Amino acid sequence: MNVNPLLQLKALGQHVWLDNLSRTLLQEGILQRLMSEDGIDGVTSNPAIFQKAIADSHCYREDLQRLRGSNLDAEARYEALVIPDIQAACDMFLPAYTSSLGETGYVSLEVSPTLAHDMAGTEAAAWRLRQAVGRDNLLIKVPATPAGVRAFEHLTAQGVRVNVTLIFSPAQYEAVTQAYLRGARRWLDSGGNAQQLRSVASVFLSRVDTLVDKRLDALATASTVKIQAIKGKSGVGLAKRCYCRYLEIFHGPDFARLSQAGVRPQTPLWASTGTKNPAYSEVLYIEPLIGAETINTLPDATLAAFRAHGHVAITLTTGMSDVQAHIEALAVLGIDLDDVGETLQIEGVRLFAEAYEKLLAAVQ
């Protein structure tokens, strides 16, 4: 009998979350089946996911019609539609949350992407959404923009559990981890309960390859063979580099006092794991990134592909010399991953804001 590769990931210490949420998944038993058969123990959502869910599913029509007759503004209508879904998913994952002592079993809800550069607005929205959902196993998603990182530090210092999203570079990852350390110290120093803190750092992968490959194609001349040889490796390289830094920070002296007090490390989460280039493997952002103390959040199609033909082995800490050689090769060609990350974060905020505006227009 073949063992489900998704369950094998869990046995190796890597949690698998679903990068999707809709009322259809909840009401038709699909999410429950993924939990029981595939070991899925968390969910991530974003404005684009909810925009598609509300547009495609008949399950929202009755509530949407009722809300259109109310005096609520568009944002309040959207939240009235999706917060019950978030609450229902949190309730479904509560056993995983409880049995893991708060390690997993979370559902993520994102603050409005229009607040990406507004620290105070992000912080206020995070508190409002946290109170509206009223579930301990909720993660508020905050972007890794400079303003978002400052808001994240303040929220952590107040005991709020946060999923920091839109991380596209080593520099952005570093800023997020340092903000977690500062916020956690402040929380402890104020007398906060160490076990209340929980955070994940969502590192986006496929979009990195898309942009780096585009820049490599623009450079292709006589060295076309060399260019082709280094395409499609930047996303995995970014994840491996971030994981190495994770080990240095959270298994090193910087985190020692917090660890002794009972604070959990901030878990790296691999996001944007659906392969965008059809020439690449469907499981490009799973098989090379298997390792303990991590989360991989998978869209439906990627999850199905790995279930069907995924190969499982500890791979996350292997090939680091190749990663370094890849980064150096990019540098020789004038491509810097931190610069790539800045471009992608700006684009990511814009895309999420556009999805959010479409979502609000749909509930008017």
Respond yes or no: is residue 141 known to be catalytic.
yes
Active-site entry in 52, 141, 233, 358: 141
Q: Three-state secondary structure along the chain?
A: CCCCHHHHHHHCCEEEEECCCCHHHHHCCHHHHHHHHHCCCCECCCHHHHHHHHHHCHHHHHHHHHHHCCCCCHHHHHHHHHHHHHHHHHHHHHHHHHHCCCCCCCEEEECCHHHCCCHHHHHHHHHHHHHHHCCCCEEEEEECCHHHHHHHHHHHCCCCCEEEEEECCHHHHHHHHHHHHHHHHHHHHCCCCHHHCCEEEEEECHHHHHHHHHHHHHHCCCCHHHHHHCCCCHHHHHHHHHHHHHHHHHCCHHHHHHHHHCCCCCEEEEECCCCCCCCCCCCCCCHHHCCCCEEEEECHHHHHHHHHHCCCCCCCCCCHHHHHHHHHHHHHCCCCHHHHHHHHHHHHHHHHHHHHHHHHHHCC
φ and ψ at residue 22, rounded to 5 degrees? -155, 165
Catalytic residues, by residue number, are 141
